[in-house]
Amino acid sequence: MSPPSSDSRVKMLTGGSIERTSFSEVVRTLYRERATAKVLVSSKGEERTFSFDRGQILFASSNREAQLVGDLLRTFGLAEENLLLSAFEHALNEPGQGLARALTESGAVPGYVAEAAVRALSERLFFDTFRWTAGIFTVTPLDTAPAVPAKMDRPTGGLLLEALRRLPAPASQLSSPLDPGSRPVFAPDILFRYQAILVSAAEAEVLGKVDGTTTVEQIHRDQRIVARLAATGLIQLVGQGRPIEKNTVAGGLLFLNVEIAGAQPPARVSEQNEVQRELVWNTYRRLDWASHYDLLGVDPQAPVEVVAKALHERARMFHPDHHLKPHLADAREALEALFASLRSAERTFRTPESRLAYDRTLEVSADTIALPGTEPTIEVQKEIGRKNYTRAKVLYEEEDYYPAYEMVRQAVEFDPAQKDYWVLLARIQRKNPKWVRHATETMRRAVKFIPDNVELWWELSEACLNERNEPERMKALKEVMRLDPGNRRAQVALAEITAKANR
């Protein structure tokens, strides 16, 4: 199933009625679009506001929230009545924002209790809205994430699945009636397929039976389980008589991002998390200059099935939901950027024609290294060198030395007339104690190629200093003085060498 066009996406995000568009479909759409927005849902005098940040549900509030939180705190005897009334008066001035602060400042409850109560209310409002069968909703796109008093800390898909579990008939949240003869398949959309969701044992059993041939009525006696997994987007239902696209991508629980409630964590989970973290950050650092093949870690001549497998493996590892896990809590921007690039790669490799067109761009691209067997022109080589050098400088400043070395090394080969390329290459080499002599040799080559450049002779003197090669350092400094008699750095360095020799 191909994603809708950008025009249809915009129309879907403006608003509508709950009768025609179920609330779960609204949530799924915002999640798929990575939307940052506020959604206002109104029914029977109550208005509920839902805040989203790039598809992640953050918070829910209601114009009746004071009453609802009051009921919650009264039920557990957590606050006195007169203090609650005072807090509610303050909260009315800032719906959705002021209640937690008002409860704390009025002395009704401690801060952590107020925050927990507001978060609990937020989830309750989200879950209860799925029971609404009538009402209207409007979507207001935002440029930045809205400020909220307490963020929900579970993936959107996980919250959506929990809401569907609470419904007696989750099939009502599907866009078409549940057909017992339809066949579940894993979602072709990589964003939905690899959601990081906590599933029940029964849901895991269903997912384990998804094979494209077993029907809904055959897969589990409780068809509501299939319905809610489909409404979440993890699986898709293919109607009777409709073909199922064949592919070589592995399916099953082991190849998803779901976790099973109550199950033991997999062996060596800490090691796996560290491997994933390294892959995310190392790939993200190279993203600006990486081709789609680099992103997937495959050879440009790799067959279709290898490319498809790599795409899905990377989608599982780079899924944006992972930012809610502790080991990738600081990697949200990286995951969003990586997944957006995966989307682009997915479109590129969708047909042989689109892949061929992309391959042709690589042959003359200034953002990637030329493919083996091609011979780019001098102009293209120089542009590649410039791009490599620019990116290498950033990596050098980030102390990511090896990829910086690889890029600037090729920049030197493509355009050796640029002194800055030689200087950066030598400085990167000096960062590795084992490469000190390589740095000196690099600068020897540089001054041979560009003999009348003061900066290159100075860098050679610095390389010799690191190598403790005093005689050659003096020769380099004298060349600096010959080219620039007033050079203060060289004068001071030579004076220090002379003073040391006379001691």
Tens digits of per-residue pLDDT, 311-369?
A: 999 999 999 999 999 999 999 999 999 999 999 999 999 999 999 988 887 764 434 43
Does residue 171 sit within a domain?
Answer: yes
Q: Is 406 exposed, middle or buried (0-12, 13-18, 19+ CB in 10 A)?
A: middle
Q: Which has more pLDDT, 460 or 374?
A: 460
- pLDDT value at residue 102: 58
Does residue 371 sit within a domain?
Answer: no
Same domain, 256 and 273: no
> What CATH number is given to the structural domain containing 278?
1.10.287.110
Which residues make Cβ contacts (< 8 Å) with residue 53, sequence separation at least 6? Answer: 36, 145, 146
- pLDDT value at residue 67: 53
Give the pLDDT mean for 399-414. Answer: 81
Does residue 429 sit within a domain?
Answer: yes
Q: Comparing C-alpha atoms, which of 448, 392, 388 is closest to residue 413? A: 388
Domain end among 118, 150, 182? 150
Phi and psi angles of residue 17, each rounded to the nearest 5 degrees, phi first? -115, 150
Which residues make Cβ contacts (< 8 Å) with residue 385, sequence separation at least 6? Answer: 410, 411, 412, 413, 414, 415, 418, 421
Does residue 132 sit within a domain?
Answer: yes
Secondary structure in 3-state letters for 378-440:
HHHHHHHHHHHHHHHHHHHHCCCHHHHHHHHHHHHHHCCCCHHHHHHHHHHHHCCHHHHHHHH
Residue 52 neighbours by CB distance under 10 Å:
25
Judged against a pLDDT cut of 80, whether residue 117 lies above it is answered with no
Express each pLDDT in 69-88 by its tens digit: 555 555 545 455 555 555 55
- Residue pair 237/183 in contact (Cβ under 8 Å)? The answer is yes
- Residue pair 321/355 in contact (Cβ under 8 Å)? The answer is no
Q: Comparing C-alpha atoms, which of 55, 66, 39 is closest to residue 129? A: 39
Per-residue pLDDT band at 405 (split at 50, 70, 90)? confident
Same domain, 111 and 47: yes
Does residue 368 sit within a domain?
Answer: no
What mean pLDDT is reported for the chain? 84
Same domain, 385 and 441: yes
Same domain, 317 and 391: no
Does residue 123 sit within a domain?
Answer: yes
Express each pLDDT in 434-475 by its tens digit: 778 888 999 999 999 999 999 999 999 999 998 889 899 999
> CA 415, CA 451: separation in Å to the nearest integer?
16
Q: Provide the percentage of residues in the chain whose pLDDT is more than 90.
A: 56
Same domain, 385 and 478: yes
Same domain, 56 and 122: yes
* DSSP H or E run through 400: none
- Tokens at residue 288, please? 């600006």
- How many structural domains are present in the chain? 4
Judged against a pLDDT cut of 80, whether residue 301 lies above it is answered with yes
Judged against a pLDDT cut of 70, whether residue 166 lies above it is answered with yes
Domain end among 150, 169, 202? 150
- pLDDT value at residue 359: 85
Does residue 477 sit within a domain?
Answer: yes
Same domain, 299 and 166: no
Range of the domain at 328: 269-362
The pairing of beta strand 136-141 with beta strand 15-17: antiparallel
Same domain, 37 and 117: yes
Q: Which has more pLDDT, 286 or 419?
A: 419
- pLDDT value at residue 398: 78
Same domain, 29 and 144: yes
Domain end among 150, 183, 203? 150
Does residue 450 sit within a domain?
Answer: yes
Same domain, 176 and 139: no
> What CATH number is given to the structural domain containing 421?
1.25.40.10
Same domain, 331 and 397: no
Amino acid at the residue 1: M
Give the pLDDT mean for 127-133. Answer: 94
Phi and psi angles of residue 260, each rounded to the nearest 5 degrees, phi first? -100, 125
Q: Provide the percentage of residues in the chain whose pLDDT is more than 70.
A: 84
Amino acid at the residue 225: I
> CA 395, CA 168: separation in Å to the nearest integer?
54
> CA 370, CA 363: separation in Å to the nearest integer?
6
Per-residue pLDDT band at 65 (split at 50, 70, 90)? low
- What are the Cα distances from residue 475, in Å, to 119, 267, 494? 71, 60, 10
Same domain, 44 and 88: yes
